[in-house]
């Protein structure tokens, strides 16, 4: 789906949702159940879209087209059900961090040479979504003990399904204990990096790594910087973290 020319992926998901809705109605399901089943397919398809606005288009296309068609008449409150389903997949507290940014498959290429880890090292992806970051980490650290942490339980389930070789659990990345990990990887928002730095300072042991894709910790001096796939940059910081030197001002 990611390699199809836009908007073909959205059109395919919308068409599939209409098929599911029609078959559900013909099978005797109620209109609300048919609506939810078709919307669930749309939301599941949105997980494969590469950015946030396309995910909203993929997930919202079917219920909007159904409402516009007049094929289903429901009380206004029922039209909130697709929104509730979307919030189940993308909970609001997760939006404060990153709305499911997928790590490119080769986005961490070269990290193993710049930030070496011993075999069996425990590596955490904080906010693992559906597992793209864990897949990229495994390509770089095939002998690592990989862990994933995700707040949304449907995403956590999908991640565990895609990454059976990793230990994936549901939890808040900011309340979880990062001590005991030799590396914490995240692909969050720029606004989240200050909180990540504070947590790394407090919990990561000397020699451990904090790694961020695309967004640097502006207050820190990086120990490694790598140009990654799709023109994204990998920023790696080794504990003890070093404050960036501020140039003198006149």
Distances (CA, A) of 202 to 44, 106, 162, 199, 241: 37, 30, 32, 5, 11
Q: Can you give the CATH number for the domain in which 145 is found? A: 3.40.50.150
Model confidence at 103: pLDDT above 80: yes
- Domain shared by 116 and 216, yes or no: yes
Model confidence at 230: pLDDT above 60: no
Model confidence at 246: pLDDT above 90: no
- Domain shared by 79 and 117, yes or no: no
pLDDT in tens, 188-229: 888 889 999 999 999 999 999 999 998 999 999 999 999 855
Domain end marker among 89, 122, 141: 89
Model confidence at 15: pLDDT above 50: yes
Domain that holds residue 193: 111-238
Residue 35 lies in a domain: yes
- Domain shared by 194 and 79, yes or no: no
Lowest mean pLDDT among 48-62, 107-121, 174-188: 48-62
- Domain shared by 177 and 132, yes or no: yes
DSSP letter for 79, please.
G
Residue 100 lies in a domain: no
Give the pLDDT of residue 203: 97
167 near 156, Cβ under 8 Å? Answer: no
| 3-class SS letters over 139-181 | HHCCCCEEEEEECCHHHHHHHHHHCCCCEEEECCCCCCCCCCC
DSSP letter for 232, please.
-
Cβ atoms within 10 Å, residue 5: 6
Q: Phi and psi of 50, rounded to 5°? A: -80, -15
Q: Phi and psi of 234, rounded to 5°? A: -100, 130
Q: Percentage of residues in the chain with pLDDT exceeding 70?
A: 80
Whole-angstrom Cα distance, residue 143 to residue 59?
Answer: 37
Model confidence at 125: pLDDT above 70: yes
Residue 29 lies in a domain: yes
Model confidence at 102: pLDDT above 70: yes
Compute the average pLDDT of residues 234-243.
Answer: 96
Structural domain count of the chain? 2
pLDDT in tens, 69-91: 877 766 666 656 666 666 656 55
Residue 176 lies in a domain: yes
Give the pLDDT of residue 165: 97
Q: Phi and psi of 213, rounded to 5°? A: -95, 125
61 near 10, Cβ under 8 Å? Answer: yes
Compute the average pLDDT of residues 128-134.
Answer: 90
Model confidence at 92: pLDDT above 50: no
Residue 247 lies in a domain: no
Give the pLDDT of residue 250: 45
Residue 244 lies in a domain: no
């Amino acid at each position: 789906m990611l390699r199809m020319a836009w908007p073909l992926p959205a059109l395919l998901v919308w068409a599939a949702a209409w098929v599911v809705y029609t078959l559900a109605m013909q099978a005797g399901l109620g209109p609300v159940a048919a609506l939810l089943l078709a919307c669930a397919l749309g939301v599941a398809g949105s997980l494969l879209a590469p950015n946030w606005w396309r995910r909203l288009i993929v997930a919202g296309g079917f219920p909007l087209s159904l409402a516009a068609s007049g094929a289903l008449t429901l009380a206004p409150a029922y039209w909130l059900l697709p929104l509730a389903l979307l919030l189940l997949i993308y909970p609001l507290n997760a939006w404060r961090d990153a709305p499911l940014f997928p790590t490119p498959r080769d986005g961490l290429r070269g990290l193993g040479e710049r930030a070496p880890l011993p075999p069996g090292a425990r590596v955490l992806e904080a906010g693992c979504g559906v597992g793209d970051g864990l897949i990229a980490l495994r390509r770089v650290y095939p002998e690592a003990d990989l862990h994933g942490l995700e707040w949304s339980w449907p995403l956590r389930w999908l991640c565990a399904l895609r990454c059976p070789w990793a230990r994936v659990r549901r939890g808040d990345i900011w309340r979880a204990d990062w001590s005991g990990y030799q590396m914490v990887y995240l692909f969050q928002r720029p606004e989240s990096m200050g909180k990540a730095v504070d947590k790394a300072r407090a919990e990561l042991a000397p020699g451990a790594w904090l790694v961020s894709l695309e967004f640097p910790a502006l207050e820190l001096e990086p120990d490694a910087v790598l140009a990654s796939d799709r023109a994204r940059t990998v920023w790696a910081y080794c504990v003890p973290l070093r404050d960036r030197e501020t140039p003198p001002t006149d």
